[in-house]
Structure 1
Amino acid sequence: MRSIFFLIATIISFSGMGQVGDMTTSLYDSYSKYKEPSLDKRRIKHKDIQPLIFKLKSNPAYTVQKVGKSIKGKNISLISIGTGDINVFLWSQMHGDEPTATQAIFDIFNFLNSDDFKAEKKELLSKLTLHFMPMLNPDGAEVFSRRNALGIDINRDALMLQSPEGQTLKRIRDSLDADFGFNLHDQSTYYNAERTSKPATISYLAPAYNYEKDINDVRGNAMKVIVFMNRIIQKYAPGQVGLYNDDFEPRAFGDNIQKWGTSAILIESGGFKNDVEKQEIRKLNFVSILSACYTIANGDYKNIPIEDYEKIPQNDRKLFDLKIERFTHNLLGKDYILDIGINHLEVEDENHETFYNVGRIVEKGDLSTFYGYDTVDATGYRLIEGKVYPEIIETRKDLEAMDIYGLLKSGYTYVRLAEFSATDKDVSVPINILGKDQKVPGFYVNIGNTPNFILQKDGSVDYAVVNGFLINLNTKETNFKNAIYYGK
């Protein structure tokens, strides 16, 4: 097997003809071997990663240190591997509801611990020392919240340093005097690559260190590594990479870490169609981070022109989960042509471990400059409010035995059920459930309302929207997750 440095050198042709080489292709294709199976959902907690960290303590290749505590006393660990002179510092989940990179970090540990690419990894770790701080905000992770237990955003605490988590991050950065720092986050799934319908699945940023957005060697090196990662990720998510906004934020850690002399690189995990738990995006993090480490180790990034950084499209925020275009809506006896954008909001259980969706209309009017993960051209269709099925269904089992698609075809988006658990808000059949004496919720095509309606054209009902999920009634194609129980 060829040296890793030769393999990575083949990945990029710096004349602009990017080629993905054997190494990153192998990493992507064999990823399932390294994926940590115990972290398969976004809502991971501090207790979920402790056994994995404990296991690393017994491996002499690693140095595992408790370097801080959260406000509620949860340990924050620093995990280091390698003997190289170049220090690379990676921290994740300073926002508790942004776990994708935390999962990828433990995938990287599994890769480093594997028998694969032994010679390549030996050479890599002789050049670099990697320092990982997974889950900087464990109190926020416990309740799947951006903020810490004090209620502040740790990423706006780089100056006042009132949070123990922020104090830990600053102290470790200073003690390492790291050459490169990776600030690992999640962003909204509704970001798109500017002027395209493609989601910004991965977004990068070399944060500015002043209002003028000057570029010195420190920031320039971060830009070059980002260009390298972008060229790698384009093979697996073409057109789905964006640049995060680079306006200087004097309170933010990334901006200040750049100012303090560490080449800071922000990686934001966004959206990917039909990847609610962000497992494909987790895989892209794995490939992106390891690819960056290899180019930092061999120094090839130094030859990349900084100008290529600005060629990456900017982030925009013009995506909906569902966009319905040019349907006819009657109001007070007059027809109007409208578009609507619908998103699927997540409502958690009390333990912050699972969730169900509630659909919401979030925009309406002329949405011709917006996009949808799913888009329906409803030209010629009338939007008609869903009806309530006239008979009361006795049990959930009776409901599941019915022809639900037939009910939807007949314009029914609600049924009344005599027996149903009021604690179970997650309805797995594609029709909403009312209590037996309950009236149907009023529906208007207004922002903030839950969309339950049919689309009818020339007397034929071809589509139903149930709790914001589109159902093609002719093909039965749908990405339906749940309807809603409206009972009390």
Structure 2
Amino acid sequence: MKSKVITLYLIFFCVSHTQSQDLTSKLYGSYDTYKEKELDKRRIKHRDLQPLLAQYEANPLFGITKVGESIEGRDLDLISIGTGNTHVLLWSQMHGDEPTATQAIFDIFKFLESDDFKEEKKEILSNLTLHFLPMLNPDGAERYQRRNLLGVDINRDALRLQSPESKVLKRVRDSLQADFGFNLHDQSTYYNAERTEKPATISYLAPAYNYEKDINESRGDAMKIIVYMNNIIQKYALGQVGRYNDDFEPRAFGDNIQKWGTSTILIESGGYANDIEKQEIRKLNYVSILSAIYTIAKGNYKDIPIEAYGEIPENDRKLFDLKITNLTYNLLGTDYILDLGINRLEVDKQGNTDFWYSSRVIDQGDLSTYYGYETLDANGLSIKQGKVYPKTLATISDVKQLDLMQLLREGYTYLRLEKIPLAMLESPIPLNLVGSTYELPKLQLQVGINPTFLIEKNGKPVYVVINGFLFDLSTGKGSFKNAMIYR
């Protein structure tokens, strides 16, 4: 049955969507033309959007309406474009630390105001009216935190409506009687497509509107559009799409907006290898959302077999930044074989516009059912504690005199400074910095420790892990952002 569903869908897609496929390829290939260069980092703020909104306010294509304020008094603006009778509402960043789709929305604005793709845009804007709430939780975005200033998860406030931001979303949805809704989020980069090592770069959900998970026409349309978008993403991130569990959550906006009659599509932006700022995922949002809007405008999503929705793998959460397998660990004279799962956890700097990493061992033992963005098979290799370099340096500038990779090869993982400036939060070099009186504790592998150690073969270091970053000592290669400071 599964193969029949897939075959039917592929036949349908190839025959009926050649034009849409062409559009998708063109959107992907021309993306840099429309990328909003002013929003090139994840930790965007409400103030970053204001000059951009001022530009669109001066453009007669766009209508910008203040529809409310956040708790701290930041404007919540609705941006509308198009003249069609079908209303599509897209809202982003109801969680303040989930900005990927917000950036993509401003890329979409640049596309819509351009002189290119005239026929496609005519199809969209004459059949649809698009409405965007690009940053629903600006107070959370200011602090790069999930919840709003009240400490409320806006996405669990659809019934009580305690937060002004929640009231705005409900009022806008009701006033528009939106036909389609796109609920745009970020998810953890540690989600994977079920039973695969591939990250769930994009995950979808057509939320249930009741505990029975019934499928009416509205929810069915959302499923069909998700199948359409999945096919697009597969072209650029093969196997990297997940599907959220659809258990009904009576407090959630997505579930309720579906219940209120808007065909609702949840999009979650996850992880993509070597894409720390999620710029490739932003591009995939841009392409897939615009393509979905186009198929809504044309109405050809209606013929997509709904059964294909169930073929999308479910979301799982079994990814680590670094997975080390079959590592020999000697404890109290006995050798044990362990797998290690290591994640690089972000710590925001003051102002919440940048971050540094404080990595941790998240799990250890048999991790054979887990995966890593980066994996090292340490079969025949043993873990050993690194050493503190015997000379104490006066300042960090003295480090320039040292061959750091050679120090790592000699087994040094810590460098002592006479005085570490209080303003320094992280080590900019691939060795942890320690104060003049710091005593290195004995390495004991356990969940929660910072992963800094040597990996040896026959007593000689062949790899080193510094704050969760792996270096191959034979080549000197390894990705790196920062090491730790211990005063």
- AA matched with 1:14: F
Q: 1:23 to 1:247 in 2, by over 3 A?
A: same
Checking the alignment, whether the CA contact within 8 Å between 1:12 and 1:231 is kept in structure 2 is no
Match of 2:134 in 1: 134
- AA matched with 1:276: I
1:146 aligns with 2:158: no
Match of 1:345 in 2: 345
Match of 1:285 in 2: 285
Match of 2:12 in 1: 14
Match of 2:362 in 1: 362
Q: 1:378 to 1:16 in 2, by over 3 A?
A: farther
Distance (Å, rounded) in 1 between the aligned partners of 2:219 and 2:329: 52
- AA matched with 1:155: N
The one-character-per-residue Cα deviations of 1:289-317 (angstroms, maximum 9, x if unpaired) are 00100000111100000000000000000
SS state at 1:358 partner: strand
Checking the alignment, whether the CA contact within 8 Å between 1:432 and 1:485 is kept in structure 2 is yes
Match of 1:330 in 2: 330
After TM superposition, give the deviation of residue 15 of structure 1 in Å: 6.3
414-423 vs 159-168, greater mean Cα deviation: 414-423
Distance (Å, rounded) in 2 between the aligned partners of 1:268 and 1:328: 38
Match of 1:443 in 2: 443
The one-character-per-residue Cα deviations of 1:170-216 (angstroms, maximum 9, x if unpaired) are 00000000110000000000000000000000000000001111100
Instruction: Give TM-score, length-normalised by structure 2.
Output: 0.96
1:472 aligns with 2:472: yes
Distance (Å, rounded) in 1 between the aligned partners of 2:147 and 2:263: 25
Distance (Å, rounded) in 1 between the aligned partners of 2:278 and 2:443: 32
SS state at 1:483 partner: coil
SS state at 1:427 partner: coil
Match of 1:6 in 2: none
1:71 aligns with 2:71: yes
Distance (Å, rounded) in 2 between the aligned partners of 1:441 and 1:123: 66
After TM superposition, the structure 1 = structure 2 runs for residues 51-450 of structure 1, keeping only pairs within 5 Å, are 51-450=51-450
- AA matched with 1:220: G
The one-character-per-residue Cα deviations of 1:64-119 (angstroms, maximum 9, x if unpaired) are 00001111111100000000111100000000000000000000001111121122
Distance (Å, rounded) in 1 between the aligned partners of 2:12 and 2:105: 29
Q: 1:442 to 1:73 in 2, by over 3 A?
A: farther
Checking the alignment, whether the CA contact within 8 Å between 1:463 and 1:471 is kept in structure 2 is yes
Distance (Å, rounded) in 1 between the aligned partners of 2:48 and 2:442: 43
After TM superposition, give the deviation of residue 475 of structure 1 in Å: 1.7
The one-character-per-residue Cα deviations of 1:46-74 (angstroms, maximum 9, x if unpaired) are 10101111111111011100001111111
- AA matched with 1:415: L
SS state at 1:426 partner: coil
Q: 1:41 to 1:442 in 2, by over 3 A?
A: farther
Checking the alignment, whether the CA contact within 8 Å between 2:120 and 2:294 is kept in structure 1 is no
The one-character-per-residue Cα deviations of 1:228-280 (angstroms, maximum 9, x if unpaired) are 00001101110000001211100000000000000000000000011111111
SS state at 1:223 partner: helix
Structure 1: gaps (5+ residues):
1-10
After TM superposition, give the deviation of residue 392 of structure 1 in Å: 1.1
218-227 vs 349-358, greater mean Cα deviation: 349-358
After TM superposition, give the deviation of residue 393 of structure 1 in Å: 2.0
Distance (Å, rounded) in 2 between the aligned partners of 1:387 and 1:91: 51
SS state at 1:21 partner: helix
Q: 1:16 to 1:306 in 2, by over 3 A?
A: farther
SS state at 2:480 partner: coil
168-177 vs 387-396, greater mean Cα deviation: 387-396
- AA matched with 1:74: R
101-110 vs 384-393, greater mean Cα deviation: 384-393
67-76 vs 425-434, greater mean Cα deviation: 425-434
Checking the alignment, whether the CA contact within 8 Å between 2:61 and 2:113 is kept in structure 1 is no
- AA matched with 2:112: L
Checking the alignment, whether the CA contact within 8 Å between 1:400 and 1:429 is kept in structure 2 is no
Checking the alignment, whether the CA contact within 8 Å between 1:86 and 1:128 is kept in structure 2 is yes
Checking the alignment, whether the CA contact within 8 Å between 2:123 and 2:298 is kept in structure 1 is no
Instruction: Give TM-score, length-normalised by structure 1.
Output: 0.96
After TM superposition, give the deviation of residue 395 of structure 1 in Å: 2.7
Checking the alignment, whether the CA contact within 8 Å between 1:443 and 1:449 is kept in structure 2 is no
Distance (Å, rounded) in 2 between the aligned partners of 1:100 and 1:81: 21
After TM superposition, give the deviation of residue 480 of structure 1 in Å: 1.1
After TM superposition, give the deviation of residue 120 of structure 1 in Å: 1.9
1:47 aligns with 2:47: yes
Distance (Å, rounded) in 2 between the aligned partners of 1:194 and 1:16: 27
After TM superposition, give the deviation of residue 440 of structure 1 in Å: 1.9
Match of 1:23 in 2: 23
After TM superposition, give the deviation of residue 441 of structure 1 in Å: 4.2
SS state at 1:234 partner: helix
Match of 1:4 in 2: none
After TM superposition, give the deviation of residue 485 of structure 1 in Å: 1.6
After TM superposition, give the deviation of residue 406 of structure 1 in Å: 1.0
After TM superposition, give the deviation of residue 420 of structure 1 in Å: 3.4
- AA matched with 2:300: D
187-196 vs 112-121, greater mean Cα deviation: 112-121
After TM superposition, give the deviation of residue 460 of structure 1 in Å: 2.7
SS state at 2:111 partner: helix
SS state at 1:235 partner: helix
After TM superposition, give the deviation of residue 30 of structure 1 in Å: 1.0
CA RMSD of aligned residues (A): 1.4
SS state at 2:347 partner: strand
Off by >4 Å, runs of 4+ in structure 1: 15-20
Checking the alignment, whether the CA contact within 8 Å between 1:422 and 1:485 is kept in structure 2 is no
Checking the alignment, whether the CA contact within 8 Å between 1:144 and 1:352 is kept in structure 2 is yes
Match of 2:5 in 1: none
Query: Could you tell me the percent identity over the aligned residues?
Result: 63
Checking the alignment, whether the CA contact within 8 Å between 1:84 and 1:128 is kept in structure 2 is yes
- AA matched with 1:392: T
Q: 1:146 to 1:15 in 2, by over 3 A?
A: closer
Match of 2:6 in 1: none
SS state at 1:149 partner: coil
Checking the alignment, whether the CA contact within 8 Å between 1:87 and 1:131 is kept in structure 2 is yes
The one-character-per-residue Cα deviations of 1:110-150 (angstroms, maximum 9, x if unpaired) are 11111211222122100110000010001100101110010
Checking the alignment, whether the CA contact within 8 Å between 2:426 and 2:484 is kept in structure 1 is yes
